[in-house]
Amino acid sequence: MISSHDFLKSNKREIVALETLLTSIPAIAPEGGGDGESKKADALEAWLRDKDFDKNGCTIERFEAPDSRVSAGVRPSLVVTIPGQDDSQRIWVMAHMDVVPVGDPKLWLTDPWQVVEKDGRLYGRGVEDNQQGLCSAAFAALYYIKNGLKPAHTVKLLFVADEENGSEYGAIWLIHNTLLFRKNDLVLIPDGGDSEGRTIEIAEKNLLWLKVHVMGKQTHGSRPDSGANACLAACALSLKLNGLEKIFDRRDPLFEPDYSTFQPTKREKNVDSINIIPGEDTFCMDCRILPCYKLADVLTEVDKCCCEVESQYGVKVEYTSPQKSESPATPTTAPVAQRLAAAIKKVHGIDAKFIGIGGGTVGAELRREGIDSVVWSTLDDQAHQPNEYCIIENLIKDAETLIEFFAN
């Protein structure tokens, strides 16, 4: 029987052809001026059927989230099932079909919708984010199909819509509107990593955005005694909120930085003239908090800060939370983490490193549902950049790692 390495090398042109096909069909969300993923899903489904992903017990299913903003009226996701020797615990690989817009086309050296192969790289929008993960998963599964093999556990490939704009019509919709997932499923998301293929993301910081509105009393710049300076109070409050880093002060080496951050960011316009003391002021905070803390406890301290500023400056403070999310970490001892680390060791010859991140991924949605998930791939971090590329050897190596991952 042909080895996984030789199988993938012999299919290099097929891998490039799939990347070329997928790149030629822009799958951009309506938020980015696009028409969704339907045409790309159609092409991918046809490719999968041509490669026998719907034969010998394997199946292809299509799930469609309603979305009236796109011409098809739906945002499709595809689920491919490869039956394993054991179905009691399934392995999922989740990659997304949608891509971001090209940005300024003048910054591209080639047509972003036409793959160009050069010096071992493929250039085009989406080739790394996230078609590298999609293609590596597809060809890892194809190895089992073409060789008449069964993976150790049932394998599920999930090619989702709407990852780039929050997953409302993709993974989140599937979690809440289908019975696809089981609590003991193992989920790998090949949509983040490093150039060595070493880091496995198992946790995210809790996210809290605050939009704070301070209301005082407008007055002349020469008469602060007759008003209540909302700008001054807002500055004081932003410093108090930043000071929560000293209250929620635990350290966790899994993350970089290894502490919770409370950072003032955007500030909205208040008055038009220098000699006006503003009666209203609005600013925002971006807070990334270690998962050992509950957001309810953080918000209790936020409320205390607001009350203190109200009392000290004679103002009224209101705030909203435009984004708020928290999720537990996947334990380093979880089967999905340990099996992936073992596969990386065997294929890449390196010891995996478990990390947490400050940003957000769809993995957090799964962890909130009690499903262990990890994020991993071998990437040059080209996501959303002009002249995006993927390294062909990285894609092949990732597919080889997934073949090993499916075997255990």
- What amino acid is encoded at 88 in this protein? S
Q: Which of 245, 252, 239, 175 is nearest to 208 (CA)?
A: 245
Q: Residue 152 and residue 141: Cα distance in Å, rounded? A: 12
Per-domain boundaries in the chain: 4-192+361-406, 206-325
Helix (H, G, I), strand (E, B) or coil at 194: strand
Cβ neighbours of 117 (radius 10 Å): 14
CA 5 distance to own-chain centroid: 29
As annotated, the active-site residues are 98, 163
Asked whether the beta carbons of 132 and 140 are under 8 A apart, the reply is no
Q: Residue 133 and residue 394: Cα distance in Å, rounded? A: 10
Would you state the pLDDT for residue 361? 82
Helices and strands counted in the chain (H then E): 10, 18
Beta bridge partners of 340: none
Distances (CA, A) of 289 to 25, 253, 292, 323, 360: 38, 14, 8, 13, 12
Which residue is listed with tokens 């590329």?
389
Respond yes or no on whether the N-terminal peptide bond of residue 253 is cis (omega within 30° of 0): no
Helix (H, G, I), strand (E, B) or coil at 237: helix
Q: Residue 114 and residue 19: Cα distance in Å, rounded? A: 10
Structure tokens belonging to residue 66: 């309603």
Would you state the pLDDT for residue 389? 97
Which residues of the chain fall short of a pLDDT of 70?
none
| 4-192+361-406 fold | Aminopeptidase (3.40.630)
Q: Residue 124 and residue 111: Cα distance in Å, rounded? A: 7
Would you state the pLDDT for residue 179? 96
Helix (H, G, I), strand (E, B) or coil at 384: coil
Give CA angle at 266 (261, 267), nearest 5°.
Answer: 125
Q: Which of 40, 1, 11, 44 is nearest to 139 (CA)?
A: 11
Beta bridge partners of 194: 378
Would you state the pLDDT for residue 141? 98
Same fold: 4-192+361-406 with 206-325: no
| 206-325 fold | Alpha-Beta Plaits (3.30.70)
